[in-house]
Amino acid sequence: MTETVTTVTTEEDEGETRRDFLLIATSAVGAVGAALAAWPFIDTMNPAADTLALASTEVDLSAIEEGQAITVVWRGKPVFIRKRTVAEIESAEKTNVADLPDPEEDAKRVQKPEWLIMVGICTHLGCIPLGQKAGDPRGEFGGWFCPCHGSHYDTSGRIRKGPAPNNLAVPPYKFVDDESIKIG
Amino acid sequence: MTKPNWAARAVKGTVDWIDYRLPVFTFVNHHLVEYPTPRNLNYWWNFGSLAGIVLVIMIATGIFLAMNYTPHVDFAFASVERIMRDVNYGWLMRYVHMNGGSMFFLLVYIHLFRGLYYGSYKAPREILWIIGVFLIFAMMGTAFVGYVLPWGQMSFWAATVITSMFSAIPLVGESIVNWLWGGFAVGNPTLNRFFSLHYLLPFVIFGLVFIHLWALHTHKSSNPLGVEVKDEQDTIPFHPYYTIKDTFGFGVMMVFYMAVVFFAPDMFGETINYVKANPMQTPPHIVPEWYFLPFYAILRAISFDVWFIPAKLIGVVLMGGAVGILIFMPWLDRSPVRSARFRPIYKQFFWIFLLDCLILGYVGAKPPEGALIAIGQAATFYYFFHFIVIVPLVSVLEKPRSLPASISAAVTKAPAKGAS
């Protein structure tokens, strides 16, 4: 009697285990399927093909005087181009890089010392720093000043003070000839 | 659920016929008529239903605004101006909608502080409270995407600054931001999806409100004494006692709301948002709407790295955490007593905390200069110190005043000594 009961219970247990396994396996496959089906929805929100078709921007530098700056548009973003003065180059090169929040030599940020070319977007939260126009505040280090949250950039576009974590980004560009560049 | 008792015979037949098939009348009777409500609710208990009414006003005006709005970077700004000038009553719809955002936050913030003062988050209402926190997050998301739609200067730069916060996430931050934008800067794809989300999210809020009310009606309202309802003596039916009280509150609220709409419609707004968005120029001083100012101050407060964690990431995490920490309130506060009326020490810290939030709001409105930086940092520190240290400590160390035996006992016998 006892034996019979035990046997029956064991068989039921095995049955339940097999069902549990099937249930878990089916649910797992279903979950993976649902996750895969979610991807097309998510991916529609990524930059579309026409947005990705990178436009490159050519810029003629010949009209820019020493100490002057212009802003051009590349991929919908402002790009700062400043022809630096001798004093600005000197102050950028003499800075003790080790003390900076994002240490980077000036030489690594420019191809020609007089031409500083950077994406003009504050690395904190994406505002456009001031300092391109005459009369703009340029911050405590003579470069750029972001009005949103008070980040100061130096004459190499490096972050010196304030909440931004990184230096202003240098976009890919090359000199087509001495007086013009191609960004992108 | 008891069925309502219908006076008019003629109506009764029809009502009974419907109610037998879809018990909608029984439902309304149960939740809005005979619904037993603590007899001692004060006017601070009006703000939940007022916020619900404003939600309905927002959805109604929003639907009609959407009929005349064009979500395209070239036309959005002009379409809003057309609503203001050419569409019949368009100006009214827009001013009611745009100030409705401010009203909604004002009411919900009062509702939230009511909960903090009277300990409404305590067992068994933790889930009710947590859904409330989710509601605040959903409201913030809705308000943010909605603010972008008129495509003014502040719209554009608010969109840029807030979406850029996600770039603080290590490794994948940049990809996430490009995903949010649908490009490499805030642009037309961004405006399109924000419009879509701004239409969707209010219905998410509506769903959350339904769950919020479901949880509320399970254990019913708390009350200013914080003593649970013990018997029928402690309650009165919702109708007519609280329908009339809520209606009066609604009248007072509408006087204020409509006074703003008709006499100072741009009081809460920023004038620079009447300048069309210019992706090449950040306005000299960008500020969010008033209801985000305390959180904006917290975001800006962190200007230093902590070990290897960059300042930007800490600022963003703290800003989200400032709302998120409310979720833990039921467990941070160990006191068995709900209402601050009987908690002399907690009561004082409650007011200090409220003051701290107002200071953060002030700092958030000003440019980050001079003493304001230090004040913002101190106020941010205190904000979290309140939740993480003061609330748990006070709840353990404080000796609460003695509670009345029941809600009705508090009025039929001598009130508890010193209770306010």
**Same domain flag for B393 and B274:** no
3-state secondary structure B294-335: HHHHHHHHCCCCECCECHHHHHHHHHHHHHHHHHHHHHHCCC
Q: Is the pLDDT of residue B349 over 60?
A: yes
Total count of domains within chain B: 2
| Confidence category of residue A11, pLDDT binned at 50, 70, 90 | low
Rg (chain B; Cα; Å): 24
Distance from CA of A43 to the nearest CA of B (A): 8
| Confidence category of residue A79, pLDDT binned at 50, 70, 90 | very high
Give the span between the Cα atoms of B412 and B407, in whole angstroms.
Answer: 9
**Same domain flag for B161 and B254:** yes
Domain end (from B284, B317, B348): B284
Question: Model confidence over B294-330: pLDDT tens digits?
Answer: 999 998 888 777 777 777 788 889 999 999 999 999 9
| Confidence category of residue A9, pLDDT binned at 50, 70, 90 | low
* Averaged confidence pLDDT in chain A: 85
Report yes or no on B240 lying in a domain. Answer: yes
Cβ-defined contact of A147 to B283 (cutoff 8 Å) = yes
Asked whether this complex has an ipTM greater than 0.85, the answer is no
Question: Model confidence over A167-181: pLDDT tens digits?
Answer: 999 998 989 888 888
**Same domain flag for B280 and B334:** no
Report yes or no on B155 lying in a domain. Answer: yes
**Same domain flag for B222 and B247:** yes
What pLDDT is attached to residue A75?
Answer: 82
Give the span between the Cα atoms of B136 and B259, in whole angstroms.
Answer: 25
Question: Model confidence over B149-200: pLDDT tens digits?
Answer: 999 999 999 999 889 888 888 889 889 999 999 988 899 999 999 999 999 9
Report yes or no on B103 lying in a domain. Answer: yes
Residues of B annotated as catalytic are: 217, 221, 245-246, 289
Q: Is the pLDDT of residue B40 over 90?
A: yes
**Same domain flag for B163 and B224:** yes
Give the span between the Cα atoms of A162 and B347, in whole angstroms.
Answer: 37
**Same domain flag for B333 and B375:** yes
**Burial category of B320 from C-beta neighbours within 10 Å (exposed 0-12, middle 13-18, buried 19 and up):** middle
What pLDDT is attached to residue A153?
Answer: 92
Are B200 and B59 contacting, i.e. CB atoms less than 8 angstroms apart? no
Report yes or no on B19 lying in a domain. Answer: no
Distance from CA of A165 to the nearest CA of B (A): 6
Q: What percent of chain B has pLDDT over 70?
A: 96
Give the span between the Cα atoms of A67 and A63, in whole angstroms.
Answer: 12
Report how far apart, in Å, the C-alpha atoms of B154 and of each of A33, A150, A162, B148, B335 are.
Answer: 42, 18, 22, 8, 44
Question: Model confidence over A102-115: pLDDT tens digits?
Answer: 888 888 899 988 89
What is the span of the domain harbouring residue B224?
Answer: 41-284
Question: A54 to chain B: which residues are within 8 Å by CB?
Answer: none
Q: Is the pLDDT of residue A54 over 80?
A: no
What pLDDT is attached to residue A12?
Answer: 53
* Averaged confidence pLDDT in chain B: 92
Q: State the Cα angle at A101 between A96 and A104, rounded to 5°.
A: 55
The verdict on pTM exceeding 0.80 is yes
Whichever domain contains B377, its CATH number is 1.10.287.980
Whichever domain contains B46, its CATH number is 1.20.810.10
Question: A77 to chain B: which residues are within 8 Å by CB?
Answer: 184-185
**Same domain flag for B76 and B175:** yes
Cβ-defined contact of B282 to A127 (cutoff 8 Å) = yes
Report yes or no on B24 lying in a domain. Answer: no
What residues in chain A have their Cβ under 8 A from chain B's Cβ atoms? 42, 45-48, 51, 71, 73, 75-78, 101, 124-130, 146-150, 162-165
Distance from CA of B142 to the nearest CA of A (A): 18
**Same domain flag for B53 and B177:** yes
Mean pLDDT, residues B343-355 taken together: 97
Domain end (from B241, B259, B284): B284
What pLDDT is attached to residue A92?
Answer: 86
Instruction: List the 277-296 stretch of B: residues with Cβ below 8 A of A.
Output: 279-286
Amino acid at B48: G
Say yes or no: B173 contacts chain A, CB-CB below 8 A.
no
**Same domain flag for B332 and B300:** yes
**Same domain flag for B303 and B275:** no
Report yes or no on B27 lying in a domain. Answer: no
Structural tokens at position B21? 């098939």
**Same domain flag for B278 and B385:** no
Shortest CA distance from A47: residue in chain B: B182
Give the span between the Cα atoms of B256 and B102, in whole angstroms.
Answer: 12
Give the span between the Cα atoms of B115 and B217, in whole angstroms.
Answer: 16
Are B325 and B386 contacting, i.e. CB atoms less than 8 angstroms apart? no
Question: Model confidence over B66-98: pLDDT tens digits?
Answer: 999 999 999 999 999 999 999 999 999 999 999
Q: What is the DSSP letter of A172?
A: P
Report yes or no on B196 lying in a domain. Answer: yes
Report yes or no on B131 lying in a domain. Answer: yes
Question: A130 to chain B: which residues are within 8 Å by CB?
Answer: 282, 284
**Same domain flag for B130 and B60:** yes
Domain end (from B249, B284, B319): B284
